[in-house]
Structure 1
Amino acid sequence: MFRSIEETMDWIHQLNKFGIRPGLERMEWVLREIGNPERKLHAIHVGGTNGKGSTVCLLRYIYQESGLQVGTYISPYITSFNERIMVNGEPISNGDLIKAANIVYPLAQRVNRETDFGNLTEFEVVTLISFVYFGMIRPCNLVIYEVGLGGRLDSTNVIQPLVSVITNVAMDHMNLLGDTIKEIAFEKSGIIKQGIGVVTTAEHPDARAVIRRSAAEKNAKLFVIDEDFTTRPLGYDEAGEHFDFDTKTIHYRNLTIHLRGTHQLNNASAALMAVNYLATYCGITVQEDAIRSALKKAAWPGRFEKIMDHPLVIIDGAHNVQGTEALVQAIQRYYAKKTIHLLYAALEDKEYKKMIRCIETIASDMTLTTFDFPRAASSDVLFSVSLHPRKRKIANWKTALRQLLAQTTDQDLLLICGSLYFISRVRVELNRYMHD
């Protein structure tokens, strides 16, 4: 059994990232042996391609502002592993992480020994730890679960939520989820449960058709953006994005969301529609004042996040084509007059060629780099696909970062993006830099 956080994390990290045999049998077997703590949870399940994290964040702030104890389960983390499991924004303590891991560990050994389901993966173990924590150690009024990958076969898909949310559906993780929007939407819509309402902000007609069919098969009430609920942009300023939100029964005027970019209005509307659903069908009500206050307060690390003012530094974990396009639009919206220096690193299994071609359109100069991560693309590869006339490659990202910080003036913007894993490391380094 584990006595220290180091022993605990060593065990978790030595597990396979992804399973050889997809399926939920391992999860269901272990949860039965523990006593099904996941069934004690009042949960919201959030899937989709982009916008999952922001939607989880907004929901957490709304319910926290209304006085509830709100658990969140997210991936990946930005600063520390413990952020993956939080209550009201406070990461799980090392002591509770060890305690939960010690409950899961013997069962992880048994599932391999006593069944033919195979070994638990790292993500399955962390998900099980979250169920133990929220179900047995730190009960909450509400727990919001972010899907890790896909939906249908994702480890989180053993929960019976109060409502499911599917944000937009775009091309990502094609090696695992499929090569078409229809195939990917099929995996995402796998979180829809029998008779449980589902909210979607998916815009692609093929994605909507798949989600609509799945909801009908499961007899689940479906709420679709621009049909059952709408947002109307009202402009933006330093405070953030302003908008109206309407359903058939509620009408909020002049809301303000601190998260920047027009794409965040869809995430806000997904959260608000889910809140409306829970108030209507589950009796979990939230006052309008709490909603207004929460939307202004909500902040999500690593997503269009301003880290410094002098020089101006923004980091963003845009890691697929649609996310990159949204980032470009947000930069053009807020910082069109700035000279933009770009530091970029990406994973080799992403569509980095398309992403680079997109992001370099707003950059005055490009610095391509890499970082110590198993799937990180080399700076040479990224450099070779860039068409920018002022591009350079620096393999050591810390060296590149220091050089760019030194040359960025108060009329400039240093934008750092390409991978959430990269951004998490940059964020730590920038905090060090500011305190040097």
Structure 2
Amino acid sequence: MFTTYEEAVFWIHSRLRLGIKPGLKRMEWMMEKLDHPERRIKSIHIGGTNGKGSTVTYLRNILQEAGYQVGTFTSPYFEQFNERIAWNGVPIKDEEIVRLANDLYPLSLELEKTDLGGPTEFEIITAMALQYFGHVQPMDIVLFEVGLGGRFDSTNIIYPLLSIITNIGLDHTAILGNTYAEIAGEKAGIIKPGTSVITAVKQEEAKPIIENKAIEMKATMYSLDSQFCIENHRSTLNGETFSQRTPFREWTDLEITMAGTHQTENSSLAIMAVELLNQYYSFLIEDEHVYKGLKKAYWPGRFEKISNDPIVIIDGAHNEEGIMALVTELQKRYSAQKINIVFAALSDKKLDQMIMNLDTIAESITFVDFDFPRAASAEDLYTISRNIHKEYSKDWKRAIEEKYSSLQKDEILVITGSLYFLSEAKPYLLDVVNR
């Protein structure tokens, strides 16, 4: 058993050695032992390739503006481990992590002796979240972000009020499949019988998969550009403005401070979810709560401007679709400036396409190493790039500081790639900028 936060977190992270073990049998076993906390929670389930965290934060802020107590389960964390389980946006306390780890530790030992084998790190953290929101600190509603895929993800033990599938991208193909259709099938696995599903999936080969699963589950489906749509979108200095038409009404002059067309799509999913909560689940969410919640919503590492003079941006574009969205936004907002990029990534991503897209806009690109088990080496990334002004460094701190200090008036610095890398880089970058 654990007496300190450090001991508890070390044990949780030690479960990484078990890797990814798709399937719900271990979760079902732990839920039975914990007296089924998942059955006590009102929840919304959010899956998809990109945009899950942003959609969660839009929805959470709206619900909080309406006075609801909102729990969230998200991954990965950005600044501290406790962020993964939060209450009204505030990470749970260290002592609560210790308590939850102690609840799960003896079950882990017992489970390891069975044919199912020991639980993975993500299964442990998911079970901790379910225990917390089910038995320790009940909420009015909890937003659960899918970890990987959907069908066999450990969060799929819940039975939510609503399901949201943000989009489909070719990520984690070794596990989820090599086509949009195959990946859509895994994502659609979170759709439950009779439970409405909201989606922004666009690919022609993926949409029918989601639709057919909804029909099979007798689940009403609300699809972006079909049942609801975005209109009058305009980018501003501080974010985006747009209107939205739904089956129930029209919203005008909506504002968000997270930049990018993709963020209007993420926020539109949250608005659609709010309308369904109002219409069918007796939630009382007024217009002002929606407008204020959207405007307040902030999610670190998503086209986040760290400095205005010179301009420094960090963005967790960790897969091909994320890179494409970043490139589009940079071209739209900073076409007159020279763009210098520092990039780090995990080795299991489609690195060739990601780097090819970055090459098209980069005045210079620096590839760096960082300390993470699946991190790609800077030299390997460098080899893929075709940029004329490319380099690599084993010391990401030195690379960032050198790039920042050498920026000219017509240049900007963009630090992007793995969210695990950005979580390390952001505090250091803030220190560099504020010196």
Amino acid at match of 2:286: Q
| Residue 268 (structure 1) aligned with residue 267 (structure 2) | yes
Give 1:431 shift.
2.8
Q: Distance between the aligned counterparts of 2:177 and 2:30, measured in 1?
A: 29
Residue 288 of structure 2: SS of its match in structure 1? helix
Q: Which residue of 1 aligns with 2:13?
A: 13
| Unmatched runs of 5 consecutive residues or more in structure 2 | none
Q: Which residue of 2 aligns with 1:200?
A: 199
**Superposition map of 1:324-363 within 5 A:** 324-363=323-362
Q: Spell out, residue by residue over 1:343-365, the C-alpha distance to the aligned partner (whole angstroms, 9 max, x if none).
A: 01111111111101101211111
Q: Distance between the aligned counterparts of 1:7 and 1:431, measured in 2?
A: 29
Q: Which residue of 2 aligns with 1:36?
A: 36
Q: Distance between the aligned counterparts of 1:105 and 1:419, measured in 2?
A: 30
Q: Distance between the aligned counterparts of 1:360 and 1:352, measured in 2?
A: 12
Amino acid at match of 2:61: Y
Q: Which residue of 1 aligns with 2:107?
A: 107
8 A Cα contact 1:171 1:179, kept in partner: yes
Between 74-83 and 329-338, the greater mean CA deviation after superposition: 329-338
Q: Distance between the aligned counterparts of 1:334 and 1:77, measured in 2?
A: 28
Amino acid at match of 1:78: F
Amino acid at match of 1:73: F
8 A Cα contact 1:151 1:188, kept in partner: yes
| Residue 243 (structure 1) aligned with residue 224 (structure 2) | no
**Superposition map of 1:56-71 within 5 A:** 56-71=56-71
| Residue 118 (structure 1) aligned with residue 113 (structure 2) | no
Root-mean-square deviation over aligned CA pairs: 1.2
Give 1:340 shift.
1.1
Amino acid at match of 1:47: G
Residue 15 of structure 1: SS of its match in structure 2? helix
Give 1:57 shift.
0.9
Amino acid at match of 1:179: N
Q: Which residue of 2 aligns with 1:423?
A: 422
Q: Which residue of 2 aligns with 1:308?
A: 307
Q: Spell out, residue by residue over 1:70-98, the C-alpha distance to the aligned partner (whole angstroms, 9 max, x if none).
A: 11111001111111111111101001111
Between 305-314 and 204-213, the greater mean CA deviation after superposition: 305-314
Residue 182 of structure 1: SS of its match in structure 2? helix
**Superposition map of 1:128-277 within 5 A:** 128-277=127-276
Q: Spell out, residue by residue over 1:240-286, the C-alpha distance to the aligned partner (whole angstroms, 9 max, x if none).
A: 11101111211101111111011111111111111111111111131
Q: Which residue of 2 aligns with 1:414?
A: 413
Amino acid at match of 1:216: I
Give 1:17 shift.
5.5
Q: Which residue of 2 aligns with 1:90?
A: 90
Q: Distance between the aligned counterparts of 2:20 and 2:248, measured in 1?
A: 47
Q: Moved runs in structure 1, 4+ residues, more than 6 A?
A: none
Residue 105 of structure 1: SS of its match in structure 2? helix
* TM-score, normalised with respect to structure 2: 0.98
Amino acid at match of 2:55: T
Amino acid at match of 2:77: Y
Q: 1:214 to 1:308 in 2, by over 3 A?
A: same
Q: Spell out, residue by residue over 1:272-302, the C-alpha distance to the aligned partner (whole angstroms, 9 max, x if none).
A: 1111111111111311111011111111101
8 A Cα contact 1:312 1:410, kept in partner: no
Residue 332 of structure 2: SS of its match in structure 1? helix
Q: Distance between the aligned counterparts of 1:339 and 1:18, measured in 2?
A: 44
8 A Cα contact 1:163 1:198, kept in partner: yes
Give 1:237 shift.
1.3
Q: Distance between the aligned counterparts of 1:18 and 1:398, measured in 2?
A: 31
Q: 1:325 to 1:382 in 2, by over 3 A?
A: same
Q: Which residue of 1 aligns with 2:282?
A: 283
8 A Cα contact 2:20 2:120, kept in partner: no
8 A Cα contact 2:37 2:135, kept in partner: yes
8 A Cα contact 1:56 1:144, kept in partner: yes
Amino acid at match of 1:159: I
8 A Cα contact 2:39 2:159, kept in partner: yes
| Unmatched runs of 5 consecutive residues or more in structure 1 | none
